[in-house]
A = this chain, B = another copy of it.
Amino acid sequence: MDEPIRVGLIGAGQMGLWHARCLAHDIQQAELAAAADPDEDAARRAAALAPGARWSTSHEAILSDPSIRAVVIASPDGTHARIIEEAAQAGKDVFCEKPLATDLAEADAALAAVASHGVKLQVGFQRRFDPAYQRAREIIAAGELGPVELAVATTRDPLESGRPGAGKNAAIFIQTTIHDLDSLRYLTGLEVVQVYANASYFGEGPAEDEVDTAAVILRFQTGALATITDSWRAAYGYDVQVEVMGPKGKIQVGSDRQTAVRRFDAQGVHHDHVYWYIDRFGQAYRREMEHFIECVARGVTPDVGGADARAAQALAEAAARSLREGRPVDVPLPA
């Protein structure tokens, strides 16, 4: 086995901790070398996953460590672009959770830094590493549905995942809808030319400027249409589905049951529903990290890089603008 890739974790919240576990336990070629988080406990907890891993409350310690070859950024969304730039300047390969940035100008600056420093960048669109999404894309790409005509995507996060204030500035588009936007681009292989969005807020407290429920229509370059409905208020769990139709048929990727138990009684038939995103996509998160580590080790460009991340972000911003302006918004094709 080659020398393991030493990786530093920047941001040790729920998602960062999951990535840390994959790096520490599941991916032979990786070594969790350090974890940084402003919350000292979080940083310590992540570092404790791997023998010898160091912790710090600032990510500078990671960027300045020459033994660390790559970083995983799972810090708050608003910090992603800046840390990508810094990491690129420090010559580290970068895995960054989605979104790339919170606005497109920042995203472009980050991508420019990645390009000029010649580092690798992968963005955390884990659905692309889910076997069901991959199989669906294969079928579509092979022309087995004919040209795509219509798609319906939905993401429902469990009710308790919402937090007051989290939905300001149409954050749902950049946090949640972005997954649907990316996976529709991934599945169909098409680019979006127009976006219309509508949204509402049903959470507690004053709703000014908050959104937790959204509906979007996309028009693709070929005239194909898609709808997206997203909500942060699902009582029954985590519900991610997508359906893509062409003249020869449709493909549906659905939410799994959590277990294979069904119960039949005088009230009918009952089974469970996958509740947490890790239960649905745990394997995909592991596989995306394996892909990143392998790309770093072999010096190749990861599959889900800056261009895809930028395209999804441009669509999320168009959705937010459509909502603000109450009209469909045209989107230029990616360069």
Contacts and interface: CB of A to CB of B under 8 A. Distances in A.
Interface of A: 25-26, 28, 131-132, 135-136, 139, 144-145, 147, 149-150, 152, 154, 156, 159, 194, 196, 198-202, 213-217, 219, 223-227, 229, 231, 233-237, 239, 245, 247-273, 326-328
A249 to B, nearest CB: 3
Nearest to A48: B1
A100 to B, nearest CB: 27
14 contacts: A152-B152, A196-B196, A196-B198, A196-B217, A196-B328, A200-B225, A217-B227, A236-B265, A248-B265, A249-B264, A252-B262, A256-B256, A268-B270, A270-B270
B136 A261 contact: yes
Given A250-B264, A326-B328, A269 B236 contact: yes
A154 B271 CA distance: 20
B215 A261 contact: no
B273 A269 contact: yes
Nearest to A197: B217
Contacts of A227: 152, 215, 217, 227, 229
Given A132-B259, A227-B229, 19 more contacts: A132-B260, A149-B202, A149-B233, A152-B227, A159-B247, A198-B219, A198-B328, A199-B225, A200-B219, A215-B217, A225-B229, A234-B245, A235-B247, A236-B265, A249-B264, A252-B263, A254-B260, A257-B269, A327-B327
Contact of A150 (B135, B159, B224, B229): B229
A241 to B, nearest CB: 9
A225 B254 CA distance: 22
A135 B259 contact: yes
B201 A223 contact: yes
Given A154-B152, A219-B198, A231-B150, A271 B268 contact: yes
A269 B271 contact: yes
B249 A236 contact: yes
Contacts of A214: 225
B149 A213 contact: yes
Contact of A250 (B201, B226, B234): B234
A319 B254 CA distance: 29
Contact of A268 (B234, B236, B250, B265): B236
A272 to B, nearest CB: 4
Contacts of A139: 263
Nearest to A219: B198
Contacts of A201: 223
Contacts of A264: 235-237, 239, 249-252, 273
